[in-house]
Amino acid sequence: VKHGQITEDVRWCRRCIGSPATGFPDSRLVGASLHTSLALLKMLKHGRAGVPMEVMGLMLGEFVDEYTVRVVDVFAMPQSGTGASVEVVDHVFQTNMLDMLKQTGRPEMVVGWYHSHPGFGCWLSGVDINTQQSFEALNQRAVAVVEDPIQSVKGKLVIDAFRLINPQTMMLGQEPRQTTSNLGHFNKPSIQALIHGLNRHYCSIAINYRKNEVEEKMLLNLHKKWTDGLTLRRFDTHSKTNEQTVQVRLVL
């Protein structure tokens, strides 16, 4: 075997796996992240319940191909944080949770993690980058999702997915991400995200949301009744209801 061929094979392996010295894999292997309605609702509900604290969880799914990650379900982790970062992952809790999920017919693997940034946008802090680096050391295509439950309103979902950028890629002046089609688009980055290292230490990944016919019918039926408790009734109607309630109590 020629020495030149060995050198080329080593370069190819480093391009696919990442440099052992840095621990950063090639971030060009993922171009899109697909989320189901169940996973999205559970992430938003978990993030909203934890306000003003930060919460985190793990995403379950599969790697469809070299450019696509499909997330079908998520589960919450007991970690929480007060600043712009959360603690490390509890591996014992993760293992026990995965074992219990397999017993319920959920055999998917962990494809990444998510956490919330209540009120201050979608970006990765230094601790988040270290956490994502540990995930990518286990699987080079792991994804980090950040959601903002405070800024998310009806019709506008503030959420983004990230992968780390290999420092060697930036030094060589190469594009850190590649896509296989023109489906979807990248959101315009905020100034706060650019300040915290977007497109320098990590890059954004396009997120697509897929709904089947059953999920669409379920979401349409869910939207019919839950807003009734949030609507304000007219004052005269509310006053009559109070009078009737008082009369009933007087009779009792």
Interval 105-134: pLDDT, tens: 888 889 999 999 998 889 998 888 988 998
- Say if 219 falls within a structural domain: yes
- Each residue's pLDDT tens digit, 1-37: 444 444 444 343 333 333 333 344 443 444 577 788 8
Q: Which two structure tokens, joined as six digits, stand for 57?
A: 């969880």
- Say if 231 falls within a structural domain: yes
Boundaries of domain holding 69: 22-251
Cα three-residue angle 210-144-98, rounded to 5 degrees: 80
Grade residue 140 by pLDDT with cuts at 50, 70 and 90.
confident
- Say if 95 falls within a structural domain: yes
Q: Domain tally for the chain?
A: 1
- Say if 225 falls within a structural domain: yes
- Each residue's pLDDT tens digit, 65-93: 777 888 989 998 887 665 545 556 777 88
C-alpha to C-alpha distances, 133 to 5, 46, 111, 122, 157, nearest whole angstrom: 30, 24, 13, 18, 26
CATH of the domain at 224: 3.40.140.10
The residue among 189, 175, 197, 190 whose CA lies nearest residue 31 is: 175
CA distance 112 to 88: 14
C-alpha to C-alpha distances, 214 to 74, 105, 221, nearest whole angstrom: 19, 19, 11
Cα 46 to chain centroid distance, Å, stands at: 12
pLDDT value at residue 104: 85
- Each residue's pLDDT tens digit, 173-208: 666 555 545 555 566 777 878 888 887 888 888 888
CB 142 within 8 A of CB 136: yes
Q: Quote the longest CA-to-CA distance of the chain.
A: 100
- Say if 9 falls within a structural domain: no
The residue among 53, 56, 60 whose CA lies nearest residue 74 is: 60
Angle of helix 213-225 relative to helix 37-49, nearest 10 degrees, comes to 40
- Say if 1 falls within a structural domain: no
What's the predicted TM-score (pTM) here? 0.69
CB 197 within 8 A of CB 130: no
- Say if 5 falls within a structural domain: no
- Say if 2 falls within a structural domain: no
